[in-house]
Amino acid sequence: MVTTDPHALRGRDYDAVFDTFGAFVTDAVADGGRYASVATQAGPVPDLSSRGVRTTVNQVREDGPALRRLTELVDRGSLTPRVHATFGLQEIHAAHARFARGGPSGKIAVLF
């Protein structure tokens, strides 16, 4: 499920939640599940260890000049991203299955 409404995620039914907004919808994660966030607008992620939930938080910040430099390197052919396969968001299950199989080097990219 992809949603921008935290109320749509009531209950502890989801094995994994990927939070890109920082709403900390941690109640949606099943006990023993996985919670990942790339945003911390609401402050630190609550401690979920008592429920056996593993958490991962990665800070993401804007850096326009660095992104421009990376774009220039890619455009010049000096930096070649290694992408094995791309999937649309509606194909997330197929992307996960492909990642789980392992094999060729290169990233599995999900396009939003």
Provide the pLDDT confidence category of residue 91 given band limits of 50, 70 and 90: very high
Give the model's pLDDT for residue 72. Answer: 94
- Taking alpha carbons only, the member of 41, 3, 45 closest to residue 27 is 45
pLDDT at 112: 84
| pTM beyond 0.75 | no
Where are the chain's structural domains? 6-57, 64-111
Q: Give long-range contacts, CB 8 A cutoff, 24+ apart: 47-53.
A: 53/26, 53/29
pLDDT in tens, 12-21: 688 988 888 7
**Do the strands 83-88 and 107-111 form a parallel or antiparallel pair, or are they unpaired?**
parallel
**Is the per-residue pLDDT at 64 higher than 70?**
yes
How many angstroms separate the Cα of 85 from the Cα of each of 18, 22, 105, 107, 108?
20, 28, 10, 7, 5
